[in-house]
Chains A and B, each alone.
Chain A
Amino acid sequence: MFHLCWSTLLGILVGVLPGLTATLGVAILTTLTFGFPSEIAIPMLLCVYIGAIYGGSRTAIVLNIPGTPANAATTVDGFPLARSGMAGFALNVATIMSGIGSIIGAIFIVSLAPALGAIALKFGSWEFAVLAIFGTVIAGSLTAPKDPLKGWIAGFLGLMISMIGLDEIVSFPRYTFGNLQLYGGISLLPVLVGVYGIPEILTSLKRVTKPEVVMDFSKDKRKLSYAETIKKNAFNLIRSGIIGVFIGVIPGVGEDVAAWVAYDVAKRTSKEPEKFGQGSIEGLTAAETANNACVGGAIIPVLTLAVPGSAPAAVLLAAMWIHGIRAGPLLPLQHPEMIGYVAGAFVVATILMVVFGLLVTRLFLKILLVPTEVLMPIIFVLCVVGTYVLNGRLFDVWVMLLFGLLGYFMRLNEFPAAPFVLGFILGPMADTNLRRALMLTKGNLAPFFTRPISLVLIVAMVLVITSKYFPKRRGEKRE
């Protein structure tokens, strides 16, 4: 319980600090949990994940900067509420709604994961190969909605780079150039820390302007009690929670998209849409419920398909592998207790998050007084140390820097990082299963189009590509 408490606090702290994301928080803590048994390490990582997604709402409300990308929608109404003297009320409402969102996520883990797991057991090599590419393409479309082509390029780059190292069928060294360090392939953690952490640190350090902070909690101008607020927003809460879960299930989409979609739906169906953007409790509720519910949704495909629903879930998946838990279709057979165990850990993490959220997060906001210029070099040292301790070799640190450079280049040119990371994770699955499928059919591609699940995935992929790209091209031509 002690470990769960401090990891929840660490998660909230990671969320509170702009520039640190839930992905980075889970990645850094993974390096610290090498010595822990899996039954302690995995709940700890869940605590960091849930805590960080929630913690980002603190800065979104008082600073107008989302602590994590998941809290971007929270800024729209959270900051106006803080400016109007309702900072304390907004912070507590966000805490309560995040807690309820997480509980909705936990309910869906227990109810949806076994059903999805049963479907996953019908998967063969054909389905797994298509699923890996499907996940990457969908992630590309959804994380770069204004220019999906860049999302797909990022995804295929990730798939391509994941080919470095010994292949899993004939153990042929690919792109190793005789370098023994590359024979084992590139570890996921340096790639993750590099692609997410380094660009964030560099961007924060180069920034010259300073943000406005609203930390006056002395006034309380709220009109409703917390119970009345929950009652008034009950339908919005449940709907946003369900939206969050289902968006979480889609590979690579993540909490930020969930929050925006729930926010958009709440605005469209609201009786007072004009209040959105001016400090609407409905808007705050939708965003905060959905992003935390999304965590539960994102874990469902991790457990059942070994396909992460979001970037932090991708690191969680990697951490599960490091701790000897092979998530995927065989999980219910190999670790039948795991789904219930994760859901239980989820509930405990949520309770801790709400308790700490209501009691200590205002104190945590004091850390915002530490200048970014002082904080970011410390974060860089943590990234370096966290990457080094993975295998105890400096090679991983250089890999992290290299991928940091690539990540920064991608960020400058507006390529999303999530499909790249997802592609990197799913690459080996695509490789092994595509070749295995081809070997089984002696090169015949027909089963990809005749097996129902594979066909459904291919059709869905084609629909996503055509709906995302071609209408845009037509629109451009009209302009």
Chain B
Amino acid sequence: MKDRISALVFILLGVFFLVGALKMPRTTEYGRYGAPGIVPAFFSIMVILLCTIMLLRKEKVSLTDSKLSSETRKAENRRLLLAAAMFLAYVFLLGKVNFVVLTSIFLSVSSSIFFKKRFVPLVLSAIGVTVGIYYLFARVFLLPLP
């Protein structure tokens, strides 16, 4: 089932690229073989073709199927969603909140959520790491930070 879903997702992506390629100009000042859509069309057809083979073949048994209990799986999914949400929030707030403040809060909160021990040392280490990153990028290497 996993293979069929991924095949369908990639076929849709391939069709999207193919339609885009077909809408591109068919000829240029270098003639029709310089047309910008030729190669994207070729690659998207290859993706569609290969994914169709995967879709139609007999379903393969996953080689890395873990034998986790449903509770462990649920716990893992919860942690995954939480991590993804925190990452999105951090990137969304970048540039809107001061980098040192935002990163210190992000590191403190995420570390204490996932590593449920000793809040104060975690906060102190988060501030230390943030200042270290800021100093390294902005002061030593003179690179711009958000």
Contacts and interface: CB of A to CB of B under 8 A. Distances in A.
A147 B142 contact: no
A141 to B, nearest CB: 13
Contact of A156 (B2, B47, B129): B47
Interface in A339-391: 371, 373-374, 376-378, 380-382, 384-385, 388-389
A478 to B, nearest CB: 13
9 nearest interchain CB pairs? A373-B114, A373-B115, A438-B33, A172-B36, A377-B110, A160-B43, A206-B80, A413-B6, A389-B143
Contacts of B86: 377
Nearest to A129: B39
20 contacts: A149-B50, A150-B54, A153-B47, A159-B43, A202-B80, A206-B83, A208-B75, A371-B115, A377-B111, A381-B129, A382-B133, A384-B94, A388-B144, A388-B146, A389-B137, A392-B144, A401-B88, A435-B35, A435-B39, A476-B58
B133 A202 contact: no
A96 interface: no
Contacts of B87: 198, 380, 401
A458 interface: no
A413 B91 contact: no
Given A205-B79, A374-B115, A392-B144, A160 B44 contact: yes
Contacts of B32: 443
A414 B62 contact: yes
A175 B122 CA distance: 44
B53 interface: yes
A201 B79 CA distance: 12
A90 to B, nearest CB: 28
Contacts of B129: 378, 381
Contacts of A381: 90, 103, 106-107, 129-130, 133
A174 B36 contact: yes
A8 B103 CA distance: 27
B39 A430 contact: yes
Interface of B: 2-3, 5-6, 9-10, 13-14, 17, 20-21, 24-25, 28-40, 42-44, 46-47, 50-51, 53-54, 57-58, 60, 62-64, 72, 75-77, 79-80, 83-84, 86-88, 90-91, 94-95, 103, 106-107, 110-111, 114-115, 122, 125, 129-130, 133, 136-137, 141-146
A422 to B, nearest CB: 14
Contacts, number: 177
Nearest to B29: A170
Given A175-B20, A394-B94, A434-B39, 17 more contacts: A156-B50, A157-B47, A160-B13, A172-B24, A205-B80, A206-B80, A206-B83, A208-B79, A374-B122, A378-B107, A381-B90, A389-B144, A394-B95, A397-B146, A398-B91, A435-B34, A438-B38
**Chain A interface SS verdict (over half):** helix
Interface residues of A, number: 61
Interface stretch (A30-38, A42-50, A71-79, A106-114): A30-38
A385 B145 contact: yes
B22 to A, nearest CB: 12
Contacts of A397: 91, 94, 146
Contacts of A206: 76-77, 79-80, 83
Interface in A204-247: 205-208
